């Protein structure tokens, strides 16, 4: 769809941290909204579930581009007052374009929903398309409270 999105995704993912995101979907032909849940269960992948018109879609998402990366930096050798050493540390950098993620979901009747997400650690957005070609715009935000759609 941390997407998305969530990635994300993205991002939508935080390596080594379990996170839950709330999804809001709106079809491009009406103002009705639908809900879903995206869980980041490990770095770069997780579970996702969406309810549309009484149909429950569930599946998985995977990160295709990270929302952030960690790198290591080092400095030169210095000597001051009897102390010498090499500076070394790590730095985390956000991807300015946000992370990317792809989700594939299926319903019990065999129908599918495919989603693409772009986002950061705090949320993002994306688009989903069902088998009939109907498109849904998606908002992804960090879940504040438990939602009714359960990821299974």
- Tens of pLDDT, residue by residue, the chain (152 residues): 333 333 333 333 333 456 899 999 999 999 999 999 999 867 788 999 999 999 999 999 998 865 555 666 666 555 566 655 555 676 655 555 667 899 999 999 999 999 999 876 667 899 999 999 999 999 999 887 555 555 55
pLDDT of residue 7: 31
pLDDT of residue 42: 72
Q: How far apart are CA 103 and CA 122, in angstroms?
A: 18
pLDDT of residue 70: 64
Sheet strands (E) in 33-122: 34-42, 45-52, 55-65, 68-80, 83-94, 99-106, 112-120
Class at the top of the CATH hierarchy for domain 19-142: mainly beta
pLDDT of residue 30: 95
- Determine how β-strand 83-94 pairs with β-strand 55-65: unpaired
Question: Is the CB of residue 136 less than 8 Å from the CB of residue 34?
Answer: yes
pTM value surpassing 0.75: no
pLDDT of residue 6: 31
pLDDT of residue 130: 97
pLDDT of residue 11: 35
pLDDT of residue 102: 95
Two structure tokens written together for 13: 């993912």
Range 130-140 burial, b when 16+ CB lie within 10 A, else e: beeeeebebbb
Phi then psi for 81, rounded to 5 degrees? Answer: 55, 35
pLDDT of residue 105: 98
Would you tell me how many other CB atoms lie within 10 Å of the CB of residue 31?
6
pLDDT of residue 33: 98
pLDDT of residue 99: 74
Would you tell me how many other CB atoms lie within 10 Å of the CB of residue 105?
23
Question: Is the CB of residue 19 less than 8 Å from the CB of residue 3?
Answer: no
Q: How far apart are CA 44 and CA 102, in angstroms?
A: 11
Two structure tokens written together for 103: 């989700």
């Amino acid at each position: 769809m941390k997407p998305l999105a969530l990635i994300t995704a993205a991002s939508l993912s935080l390596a080594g941290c379990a996170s839950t995101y709330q999804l809001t979907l709106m079809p491009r032909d009406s103002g009705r909204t639908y809900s879903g849940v995206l869980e980041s269960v490990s770095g770069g992948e997780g579970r996702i579930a969406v309810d549309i018109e009484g149909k429950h879609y569930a599946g998985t998402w995977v990160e295709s581009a990270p929302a952030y990366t960690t790198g290591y930096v080092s400095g030169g050798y210095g000597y001051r007052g009897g102390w010498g050493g090499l500076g070394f540390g790590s730095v985390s950098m956000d991807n300015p374009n946000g992370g990317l993620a792809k989700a594939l979901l299926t319903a019990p009747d065999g129908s599918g929903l495919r989603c693409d997400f772009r986002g950061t650690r705090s949320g993002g957005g994306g688009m989903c398309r069902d088998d009939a070609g109907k498109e849904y715009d998606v908002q992804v935000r960090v879940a504040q409270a438990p939602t009714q759609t359960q990821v299974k």
